Amino acid sequence: MSFAVEPDGLIRLSWGRGVRITGELARTAMARVDEINGETGHPLLVSMAGTAELTREARMVFGRRCSATRIALVGRSAVDRVIANFALGVTHVPVPTRFFTSEPAAVVWLRKPG
């Protein structure tokens, strides 16, 4: 898992290929996002291409409210799509969250005002 922050505050979270996102990892990631954001909320871009698994516990963690104002999940493969589907569909998401296969499209959506 790695983090980068754009000058306008947009946070990029990249999961390494083949990673199994457990509840523990998810909690660490969300804590880090909260830490970066501080008092102000910013959009979050999650690169999840090649993620091997997203556990139920991790999906529950992502279902809790965090400091991100919007979340874009970016993947490529059918596997990414299915995993994103579960993250978005089975669990209620607290902030606007979408799946993209195009990172530029995701960034545009994240930076869209309102």
Partner 1 sequence: MTGPHGPDEHLDDYAPGPPISPNDERLDGLVQFVVELAAGRLDRRMDPSPADDRVDAVTVGLNMLAEELQALNEDMEVRVAERTAQLEAAQHQLERVALYDPLTGLANRSLLGDRIRRAMGQAEHGAAAPAVLVLDLDSFKAVNDSFGHTVGDLLLVEVADRLRAIVADTDTVARLGGDEFALVVLDSGPERVLDIADRIIAALESPILAGGHSCWVGASIGVCFAIRGQAADTLLRDADTAMYEAKTRAPGTVQIYEPAMHSAALSRVRLAEDLRTAMAADQLQVHYQPIVELRTGRLAGVEALVRWNHPERGPLPPESFVAVAEATGLVGTLDRWVLDAAVAQLARWRAGVLGDTPFDLHVNISPMGFRSPRFADDVVACLARHGVPHGSVMLEITETQMMGEDAQTLQQMETLRSAGIGVAIDDFGTGCSSLTYVRRLFVDLIKIDRSLITGLDTDAHQRDVAAAILAVVDAFGLAAVAEGVETAAQAETLAELGCRYGQGYLWGRPVSADTMTGRLRQSVH
Distance of CA 9 to the CA centre of its chain: 15
Residue 103 Cβ, how far from partner 1 at the closest point, in Å?
11
Q: Which is nearer to partner 1, 7 or 114 (CB)?
A: 114
Residues near partner 1 (CB under 8 A) are: 50, 52-56, 77-79, 81-86, 88-90, 92-93, 96-102, 105
Q: Which is nearer to partner 1, 6 or 95 (CB)?
A: 95
Best CA proximity match to 36, nearest among 72, 14, 4: 4
Question: β-strand 20-21 against 2-5: which pairing, if any?
Answer: unpaired
Residue 69 Cβ, how far from partner 1 at the closest point, in Å?
13
Q: Which is nearer to partner 1, 4 or 99 (CB)?
A: 99
Asked whether 44 and 68 are in contact (CB, 8 A), the reply is: yes
Residue 29 Cβ, how far from partner 1 at the closest point, in Å?
19
> Measured between alpha carbons, how far is 76 from 63 in angstroms, rounded to an integer?
22
Residue 34 Cβ, how far from partner 1 at the closest point, in Å?
20
| Cα dihedral 41, 81, 19, 103 sign | negative
